[in-house]
Amino acid sequence: MSAFFFFIQLLNAVQFGLVLYLVASGLTLLLGIMGVINLAHGAFYMVGAYLAFAVVQHLASFWLALPLAIVLGLLLGAVLERFLLARLEGADHLSQVLLSFGLILLINEAQRIIFGNDAHGIEVPAPLNFSIPLSETFAYPAYRLFICAIGIVFVIALGLVMGRTRIGMMLRASAENRTMARALGVDAKLIYLGVTAAGIACAVLAGVIAAPIASVYPGMGDQVLILSFVVIVWIQGQIDAGLKPSINWQMLAYVILTLGEAMVSITGLEFAYTQAPNSMKSSVMALWLLTVASGELFVGLVNKWILGGGQKVSAYQYFTFFTWLMFGAAVIFVIVACFYKGRTYLQSQLTPDEIATEPILHGGTPS
């Protein structure tokens, strides 16, 4: 693997990691300050993507979707906190999870009624619909760099708000000891309303930003939600242990997470199409897909063992187990890669035996 190829994948990881950071920041605020587990956060991400699609279709302006996403997210968050979450204050996490599932069902059903079940695409805005040359043969899309710029501005702004402003002080006080914060005059209801509105707005805005580079389709927020929770559970584990991690540490974690996902996917495809002989390309790709399915089966068996055996496993322990499992697989991969001798087979370069079996394509006559 060349250093240039790794650099491109690193850029992709940073771009997607910043989108995840935008989504997860809202989740972190809800969980850390209000103690609310909002499993419907991914559904609000999907709302943002469909908002971008609707605005582009009817108003032909992607840029208008950005402020509309913030306004819509703030309104949805305020309604969610005022009429639903406020009624569950002091309730256990099971009630919050059930409420989240109900919201997911309502949002998904509304999406099907309004937009149907088809996947949709959104064109990149014209001012950013170009690529920046990075070499003689490769250029990087300017819109992905635009996403990186928005993410970096958001990271800086969030850090300043949390660490340098009175609002951040009240948020940190509420997360540390909400009872004492109330005794000191912090308006808890206003804090909860603002946190919920800001958190949902982050998810909706992330959906709008990601829409031009990803298909808009039903359930698109599920994968984003899962990836977002991976790092949040780790941070929550540190908080439960008495530590005080910064919210900005999520950025590094999401870059590593998305870089790993991109590198694994690219490595599998690259191996299937370049390292396998032409006659085995389909077989190697099928083996790759079988391996992915086997991993999903393993996760299902672990979940069945936990639920069926009545095992008491916290969310932090659950995700930590799979994290160490992936780390072990990565170590094995590195060891094997050190001894692997690659040989590239291009699709257009056939062996003599393959040419003999395809005489018509190569100017011969059928036998």
pLDDT tens digits, 182-196: 787 888 788 888 888
What does the pLDDT look like over 16-44, one tens digit per residue? 888 888 888 888 778 777 777 788 888 99
Distance CA 158, CA 205 (A): 15
Q: Which residues make beta-bridge pairs with 131? A: 141
CA distances from 93 to 37, 41, 101, 141, 200 (A): 7, 15, 12, 42, 19
What does the pLDDT look like over 346-356, one tens digit per residue? 655 555 554 45
Place of tokens 């309004």: 114
Rounded mean pLDDT of the chain? Answer: 78
What does the pLDDT look like over 58-109, one tens digit per residue? 988 899 999 999 999 999 999 998 888 888 777 777 788 788 888 999 999 9
pTM given for the model:
0.71
Distance CA 333, CA 181 (A): 50
Domain range summary for the chain, segments of one domain joined by +: 3-221
3 state SS of 125: coil
- Both tokens assigned to 64: 């208008």
Indicate the range of 126-130, 198-202, 273-277, 289-293 predicted with least confidence: 273-277
Distance CA 225, CA 351 (A): 46
Residue 68 is predicted with a pLDDT of 94
Per the model's pLDDT, the better-predicted residue between 216 and 291 turns out to be: 216
Per the model's pLDDT, the better-predicted residue between 239 and 119 turns out to be: 119
Residue 31 is predicted with a pLDDT of 75
Residue 363 is predicted with a pLDDT of 43
Per the model's pLDDT, the better-predicted residue between 303 and 193 turns out to be: 193
- 52 close to 211: Cβ distance less than 8 angstroms: yes
Distance CA 91, CA 98 (A): 12
Q: Name 159's Cβ contacts closer than 8 Å, sequence gap at least 6.
A: 246, 247, 248
- Both tokens assigned to 163: 């660490």
